[in-house]
Structure 1
Amino acid sequence: MLKVDLDMKVKFLHGFAHKTRIQILECIKEKEKTVSHIVDALNGNQSNISQHLACLKGCGLIVGRQDGKYTYYSLRNQQIKELLNMFDVVFEQVESDVACCDRHIG
C-alpha cells in the first residue's frame, strides 16, 4: 500500500468540499473552458469563480492553459475525470444514507 501523507490527502480532498468547486469540475469535465464560460454556465460572479479555480488549481485538480489573453481550464488528467464519475457511482449507492445525515449540512 502506498504511504500517503494524510495532511496532503485532506488538502487534496478539500478541492471537492464545496458546491461551487464541484459545479466547476462538472462544467469542465468534458471540455476546457475560460472563466467567462464557467461564470456563464454557473450563473456565478467572476471573482467568486476565480477564487474557486485558484483553490482547484492549488489542490492539483485542474490546470490552466494560456491562449492569448484567455486561460482555458481543464481537469488535470483522465484520472480526475474517472474520480468524478466514481463519486457519482458511489453516491448513487449511499444517497439515502447521506440524505438522512444531519451532521454535515450544506
Structure 2
Amino acid sequence: MTISEYVPDAPCEVLDPAAALFHSLSDPTRLAIVQRLASGEVRVRDLTSELGLAQSTVSGHVACLRGCGLVQGRAQGRSVYYSLTRPELMDVLAATEVLLAATGNAVSLCPNYGLDARDTPQIQEITR
C-alpha cells in the first residue's frame, strides 16, 4: 500500500511512521553516520574520530538510528560494530539526491528548514 492510500482515513496516525523515519534522517550527523555505514561496519570510536564529535554525541545518534531499526550492532570482543539493517535506505538517499538535483536544491530556500532558517528567532530557540 502507498502512503496516498492511507491519507483519506486518518492522515496523522498513519503517516506517523513515515514522519518518524524522515525525522530520524533529518539530522546532518545521523546522515553522515548512515553514509559512513554504507561502506561497511564501524565502531562508535571510529565514527567519533572520523566525524570529530564527542563519543556521547555519536552514541546518541547511533542509538536513535538503532531505535528506528535502521542500524544494528554486532559485538566482537569488547567492541560493537554497527551496520545498516536495510540496504533500501541507500536507495532512499539516492532518490533524495536525484530530487534535490531536479529541484536545484530549492529546499535550501525553505523558510522553516532551509539554510537560512537557523537565523530566525523561532529556530534559534528550538536549537538551543
Q: 1:50-91, CA deviations, whole angstroms, 9 ceiling, x for partnerless residues? A: 001000111111111111111111111211122222222222
Partner of 2:20: 11
In the superposition, the TM-score normalised over structure 2's length comes to 0.74
Matched, 1:64 2:73: yes
Quote the RMSD (CA, aligned, Å). 1.7
Runs of 4+ in 1 over 6 A off after TM superposition: none
Q: RCO greater where, 1 or 2, for CA within 8 Å and sep 6 or more?
A: 1
Structure 2 letter corresponding to 1:77: R
| Corresponding residue SS for 2:105 | helix
Matched, 1:40 2:49: yes
Q: Give the aligned length.
A: 106
Q: Alignment identity in percent?
A: 30
The structure having more radius of gyration, on CA atoms, is 2
Q: Return 5+ residue gaps in structure 1 as ranges.
A: none
Q: Return 5+ residue gaps in structure 2 as ranges.
A: 7-13, 119-128
